[in-house]
Structure 1
């Protein structure tokens, strides 16, 4: 009697502790696939722990064990094994198809799986109603649910190994204990006495529950490791953005310093032309020198214009000119030749030229990073009502659906560290909003990305 009391108490406490430990974990920012379904395991733990305490109550007060109480307890144990079955099924989805498997799986497929699992539970509960025992529920629902969960935890350790070897081992041990629990709780009836040791199977169920709880809670450190990695990456990107800011200041200084000797050279070239004339071979050489000086001067001016942050007064500007200037700044970028401008006549917009130039340089750089040989980037302008519309469409690799909601967040980037700070789109969004504009982004991994920017146009008074 005393041992039975202790076993049921600790058995229920182990699973209840597992559920509370999972529910109390903050996993909202986790990008791991298991984070989307781990609360199913927590739900199983809390409900099944409650079921074991109902059995303890029946053990302490046999008089309450009438048919109504047994039916209620059967409903509770059936309800507890349903989330375990869902957890096992979806964990194997994630394990074998990647962390984004649930996101990419059609809703109809998930609904079909859920309906089949629920139908199996209802069928098992119907079979058990007559006997008042939970034998069918344990065989048809608990056994496959715990077995799939155990296999899924063991296999998911391969994903976890990239974060921590010790945490991967905890996943393996938790999965092994869950597989053992599938046998002792799913296939062996509750009243069986183990012949060799002469104790009821409830002892082995309780031991499995304790070790599942222990190793799973240890495995939850995976989310702490992931958060530390995320913070470390963000700090690195912030450091990189600080370096880029310093480089921008330095570039502005260099551009300013280059302008002075270029102006001096231009004056001397004019004097030289007066001395030797503009005809003949020497004149052609001077003209070539002059063209290259103009080119260097234009690059220095645009670099200085792009880097400075002094202008705050809005003025009427041509979006088409801004786009052409942005393309000119990118002409030495890899694959810049795949950018094609299709510019219609559009009204002027009120803005700060260098800021809008920064917006379109950033957007075009993102498109170039997503494209390869054979891809195409089209930039079009149009008018819709009183707004000027700019569309940048590329046929690159696109952005995953799971990342679309965060693309404008500061420091969020899908690029490797050192190749992107995660500030580009955030800066673009801020500048566009300062100009009274809007930006929308549509993307898929099959069809590329389309960015639509719009600004209020300036009415032509003439």
Structure 2
């Protein structure tokens, strides 16, 4: 009966750790944005190796009497090696957890990990130099292994994953508490596996199994966050695809409408020119009516041109464009308006990328126009352009009135504008986003009411973005 109970305890003991490894391995972390995802392979390694260790221990417990005395020495030290390697996986996991922590906590955790490795290495060296490696030496070495590697690695891993769970909770992630509970389970398991000898009571393996099962359950719940991430990514892709089809249809419609509108507008403008020439100078009232009509026609013409610019799929070749020239040209074209504001532009003259200069100028003009419209007289507007390892970023910041969350969500929608009727078309940011996408870039908006707005555009590059090897 005792043999049957022992067999089942160790069978489930190893099965729990094998399940921990499977829970991690069968999760898809490819598209995860969570910092912990690259570290979980080490936890899976610990799960599988510890399961193998416990199942092989079961063999020794059940059939130890049948092992010849000449092989006992080898078997004992193989057991110790297996135990060390299994906890080494957990120690690696602890190290990786502290790598993603803050500077102070991360440094303390890495120092503690290195100290455990150093102390254990010194112990092994002392045993090896002792010369006599008998049963007593093995028992002592196993004790140090459980104290240093067992309790030490489980404690550090528990602290690391608990701190990460706390960080997630502070960021309003509901699954943060499950990561923290997993850390608590690892700490309890470290006490039972590292500090409490198996021989002290028959229930010790049962308690260890329960602690490991607690880790498994909380880990399953914690890792559901990756499923949610995947669902959100799939929904976002589907939404983008639907919006792309919708905007494509709108683009075709807009192009047709704009073309049809442009012809009568041009004809009306020509007719007004001819009429204005024939009017005598004293007809001031009629001149005023003509000017008002001309303003309305020019306004309609501007909207149709912006619609064409948005709808047209320009497949022109990309050439090398110096971004300092783009910024300077945009400022020059806005010179009639820009003098009323404090514009600070920073762009390295050597910075360049492959693109369409006219489109990039149009994008910068729209961004500056929006910033000036949102700013007060003599308001500060910053335009910064810089480069990273494989990207160029363009940033426009103003100190204007800012946007609330609802406005930000709709800022890039077609025809959405917070300006007064007749002052905005609602196409500026939509065109900027389209131009950025055509140049392998993304546009992000950051704003708060009373603080101002920051628009950041990141262009992903494939080649060099400086004209020389000068490190700017």
Distance 1:360 1:115, change over 3 A: farther
The aligned counterpart of 1:119 is: 118
Match of 2:237 among 234, 237, 242: 234
Equivalent residues of 2:276, 2:290 under 8 A apart: no
Equivalent residues of 2:14, 2:54 under 8 A apart: yes
The aligned counterpart of 2:12 is: 10
CA distance in 1, matches of 2:159, 2:270: 79
- SS of residue in 2 equivalent to 1:376: strand
CA distance in 2, matches of 1:66, 1:370: 80
The aligned counterpart of 1:385 is: none
In the alignment, structure 1 residue 53 sits paired with structure 2 residue 61: no
- SS of residue in 2 equivalent to 1:33: coil
Distance 1:246 1:262, change over 3 A: same
The aligned counterpart of 1:265 is: 268
Residues 26-425 of structure 1 aligned to structure 2 (within 5 Å)? 26-59=28-61, 60-62=63-65, 63=67, 66-91=72-97, 94=100, 97=102, 115-126=114-125, 131-133=137-139, 134-158=142-166, 165=174, 167=175, 170-193=178-201, 199-277=202-280, 292=295, 295-296=298-299, 299-300=302-303, 302-309=305-312, 338=343, 357-358=358-359, 361=362, 374=380, 376-377=382-383, 393-394=394-395
The aligned counterpart of 1:405 is: none
TM-score by length of 2: 0.62
CA distance in 2, matches of 1:183, 1:343: 58
CA distance in 2, matches of 1:369, 1:359: 16
CA distance in 2, matches of 1:91, 1:297: 59
Equivalent residues of 1:249, 1:307 under 8 A apart: no
Equivalent residues of 1:325, 1:357 under 8 A apart: no
Q: List alignment gaps of at least 5 residues for structure 2.
A: 387-391, 399-407, 414-429, 444-455, 465-472
Equivalent residues of 2:154, 2:187 under 8 A apart: yes
CA distance in 2, matches of 1:66, 1:317: 74
Q: In terms of mean alpha carbon deviation, does 125-134 or 25-34 score higher?
A: 125-134
* Displacement of 1:118: 3.3
CA distance in 1, matches of 2:216, 2:348: 63
The aligned counterpart of 1:384 is: none
* Displacement of 1:328: 6.8
Equivalent residues of 1:266, 1:290 under 8 A apart: no
* Displacement of 1:232: 1.8
Equivalent residues of 2:23, 2:220 under 8 A apart: yes
CA distance in 2, matches of 1:366, 1:79: 58
Q: List alignment gaps of at least 5 residues for structure 1.
A: 194-198, 381-390, 398-415, 434-438, 442-447, 456-462
Deviations 1:381-425 (A, max 9, x none): xxxxxxxxxx8754779xxxxxxxxxxxxxxxxxx865669x999
CA distance in 1, matches of 2:243, 2:158: 43
Equivalent residues of 1:367, 1:396 under 8 A apart: no
Distance 1:392 1:273, change over 3 A: farther
* Displacement of 1:41: 1.0
TM-score by length of 1: 0.63
Distance 1:243 1:336, change over 3 A: farther
Equivalent residues of 1:17, 1:213 under 8 A apart: yes
Distance 1:110 1:287, change over 3 A: farther
CA distance in 2, matches of 1:90, 1:57: 33
Equivalent residues of 1:11, 1:206 under 8 A apart: yes
Equivalent residues of 2:49, 2:85 under 8 A apart: yes
CA distance in 2, matches of 1:182, 1:42: 17
Aligned length: 392
* Displacement of 1:362: 5.7
